[in-house]
Amino acid sequence: VFPFHFFPSLTSLHLNTPDFRPNWNLPKSLHLSALKSLFLQNVCFVTSDGNDFAEPFSTCVLLNTLVLGNFCLAKDVKVLRISNPNISSLSLHTWKEVDSYHIQLSAPKLSFLSIIDVDFSSSHQLSSTCNLTFLEEVHIDTYSDIYSPIILNWLQLFSNVNKMTTSMATFKSISDVSSFSFDFCIVSIIFACLLQNIAC
């Protein structure tokens, strides 16, 4: 376990375990009260005592940027709670086969969300305890079937956004869902064909 308690004044942390090594178990709570930016790749979240959820970020009271790549949950953990009053930017990136998890957001100041999923099987279920009123920009690039309940759930959470960046394939799938209506005050959809490296 990374000795976070030795570095209480950290404001930025990039923790990366190589893909070919086992994921690094994180403590139940990071206790980095000065941390503002956090990048975690190939890490595993464990539960709090007697609970079925992990809630590692609630004590990072200044955290505003969080990037999670190829993370996993311990066997007894059912939900990852991203609970923080100041997070404004959240990125969930998956580029290898991992399990799908339930991620519960409690981030009232969230304004930017990026979901990149290049493995069909690993789209995470998202829910939120707040209305995500400040969520303005969303970036989605996923191989998952847009008609699946998980993806439709994402779209409902994103109903307040005014700027969306997607791959062309993802946007085509979204536009085919006739039962879903985006109620944007200002609509600015950018077609970014990410996988084909085409700038639009």
How would residue 18 be classed by pLDDT, with cut points 50, 70 and 90? confident
Given a cut of 70, whether residue 186 has pLDDT beyond it is no
114: helix, strand or coil: strand
Average pLDDT over the chain reads 78
Whether residue 122 contacts residue 102, with contact meaning beta carbons closer than 8 Å, is answered with no
* CA 108 to each of CA 18, 91, 129: distance values in angstroms, whole numbers, following the listed order: 33, 16, 9
Residue 194 is predicted with a pLDDT of 42
Model pLDDT, residue 197: 42
Of the pLDDT bands very low, low, confident and very high (cuts 50, 70, 90), residue 178 is: very low
Tokens coding 49: 């005592």
User: Which is nearest to 69 in space by CA: 46, 51, 93, 45?
Assistant: 93
Confidence of residue 85 (pLDDT cuts 50, 70, 90): very high
Tokens, residue 169: 């394939």
Percent of residues, the chain, with pLDDT higher than 70: 72
Q: Which residue has the tokens 């981030």?
A: 107
Mean pLDDT of 166-173: 68
Alpha-carbon 143 to chain mean position:
16
Q: What is the pLDDT of residue 146?
A: 53
Q: What percent of the chain has pLDDT over 90?
A: 32
pLDDT at 176: 59
Average pLDDT over residues 114-132: 78
141 φ, ψ to 5°? -140, 105
Kindly report the pTM of this predicted structure: 0.81
The amino acid occupying position 169 is A
Residue 153 vs residues 52, 86, 145, 159: alpha-carbon distances, Å: 22, 24, 12, 10
Is residue 30 a contact partner of residue 7, using CB atoms and an 8 Å limit?
no
Per-domain boundaries in the chain: 4-191
Q: Which amino acid, 166?
A: T
**Distance between CA atoms of residues 121 and 108, nearest Å:** 29
Q: Is the pLDDT of residue 29 over 90?
A: no
Q: What is the 3-state secondary structure (H, E, C) of 25-36?
A: ECCCCCCCCCCC
Encoded tokens for 3 = 């000795």
Burial class (CB in 10 A: 0-12, 13-18, 19+), 156: exposed
